[in-house]
Amino acid sequence: MKAGLILFQKNLVKRMDNIRFLLMVAFATISFMLWEAWQADYGPKPALSALDRPIIDGKADTAAQTPANPASPSAVTPVANAKAAAAAIIKVKTDLFALEIDSEGGTIRSLDLLQYPLEKENTTVNTLRALAGMEKKKVNLAPIRLFTPDPEKEFAAQSGLIADAESALVPDHHQKLNFQQASYELKPTENTLSVPLTWDNGQGLTVTKTLTFTRGSYGITVSQKVTNHSNRAWSGKQYNQLLRTNYVDKAASTFIRTYTGGVVYTESDKYKKVSFDDMAKDALDVASKGGWTAMIQHYFAAAWIPPAEQNNHFYSKELQNSRFAIGSYSPSATVPVNTEMQFTSQLYAGPKVQTAMEKYAKGLELTVDYGWLTVIGKPIYWLLTKIYSFVNNWGLAILGVTLTIKLLFFKLSQASYRSMARMRKIQPQLKALQERFADDKPRFNQEMMEMYKREKVNPLGGCLPIMVQIPVFISLYWVLIETVEIRQAPFLLWIQDLSAQDPFYLLPVLYGISMKVQQSLNPAPVDPVQAKVMQMFPIMLTVFFLFFPSGLVLYWICNNCLSILQQWYITKQIEAEA
């Protein structure tokens, strides 16, 4: 019995002796993973493939839909029309977009987000460079290009119609359409702008595709009206899909990696990622009422949103040249003779602003992806935006969130710091014990346990409260990384973009200093090897934080400073009690 108790004590002592060291290793590992995961934001079309089309009824037919094949079965889907001549381009400009519509199918082949430049000038940096006699730092002020025809990173929004069996053929996204003018611009006095494209089979069946833009909105309404003046009823479906190349920006930073790929939202599965690898291995094939499909990237997204009351079928497809498509098609509808029917859908193409996206479709705000920590991340985002609404500065909002989180965890932190303070108080006695029983490890462990009991110290008391807070820290990290409102948002002085690195690396250095001060208030490990490793942590993490966005480093500096004040105060209390 006694031997078992001694063994238990030895094991417990080992665990207590190493728990702080293991936590710091875990913290460093997480920091390294986040550092490694850092990834910043970010012509003629390639030959079209006969596979570039939606999958209907789980089948894909490669036969071309041409007048020589009028009776296409229900499984037939749009097929590439390999034409040598390039289709005409229609240019459109609104208050938010500058885009190009290809008259071949009405595909949106290029789209610039005018309110979001690629880079931002830093006036402080430019002033210092001028004082040093250096040229002004060059930055790319061109707008973010969401859709592009560049073959290497092609991204396009396609839509069209599919005829049912025995029905006359209708235009898919490879059929050339007629248009009225080559350019459109939303005038200051206008709230909406419509761009119509038409098609006529010469036998009484006409299709009018209209793209409608609204001032101040990143939603584009796409309607496809089928007018049937032929001698027989027509039936078919509408489809919408996003085509994208699996492109990796080689010039982008490698220190943050955010998800780029497909997403689908259905009633049953809700938000679900469909990566390019998933599309290559197993094509998406699911039906749902409402729902939507999207291609997302850091800060920005494009999503096709069919009518919410409609039963839709969602699909994905791997195409040639490392291209992938994800989209949906509607139920089949019939247009009797001398009648017309309009198919509608909406395309969202813009920044992932949660409060705005909620208005377009249920669950669309989930494209701001916090992963499995969404349940914590969303309240933190809500708090961040609420504080911003009062202070009108995202840097101050981050500080406000930090202070609020510290207050919420005040009791837990207090218990942790009290335990650390007591451990720090008995450090000299532990050191004396270690020297006294240097050659008798079991006896040292036994005496250390007795000292813990005598001094009422719980070595685990300082670690467990910290572990409880780790999910909140990780959630806040993802909130700061994913929130597009923080992108290029200024704070103070030289920090003019909270989503970018500190241009002078002052914040990472301040972080390292604050961590070193905080570490000095903690009890040092008894093991000298562990103590030396712990001393290296401020330097290691400072190096990692050189590449972190300044908004995130700002949070950690504020958090460390508040922790130092709280820990210093509690340590003084414990010393006074002694």
Distance CA 296, CA 298 (A): 7
Residue of 47, 86, 99 whose CA lies nearest to 323: 47
Query: Given the structure tokens 């039936």, which residue do they identify?
Result: 235
Mean pLDDT in the chain?
Answer: 79
pLDDT for 255 equals 62
Residue-wise over 30-60: b if at least 16 C-beta within 10 A, else e? ebeebbeebbbbbeebbebebbbbbbbeeeb
pLDDT, tens digit, 9 for 90 and up, residues 255-274: 667 889 999 999 888 899 99
Query: What pLDDT digit, counting tens, does each position of 362-401 carry?
Result: 999 999 988 788 888 899 999 999 999 999 999 999 999 9
Dist CA 76 CA 14 (whole Å)? 68
pTM summary value: 0.78
**CATH second-level architecture of 89-114+145-369?**
Distorted Sandwich (2.70)
> What is the Cα–Cα distance from 65 to 80, expressed in whole angstroms?
9
Residues 6+ apart with CB under 8 A from 28: 537, 540, 541
Which is it for the CA torsion 367, 371, 372, 378, positive or negative? Answer: negative
For range 314-326, the mean pLDDT: 91
- Lowest model confidence (mean pLDDT) among 15-29, 86-100, 379-393: 15-29
Return phi, psi of residue 487, to 5°: -60, 120
Beta bridge partners of 181: none
End-to-end, the C-alpha distance of the chain in Å comes to 36
User: What is the DSSP code string of 406-425?
Assistant: HHHTHHHHHHHHHHHHHHHH
- Segments making up each domain of the chain, as ranges: 2-36+375-577, 89-114+145-369
For 433, residues 6+ apart whose C-beta sits below 8 A from its C-beta are 444, 447, 448, 451
Tens digits of residue pLDDT in 468-482: 677 888 888 888 888
Place of tokens 């250390």: 448
**Cα(54)–Cα(231) distance, rounded to whole angstroms?**
29
pLDDT at 563 over 60: yes
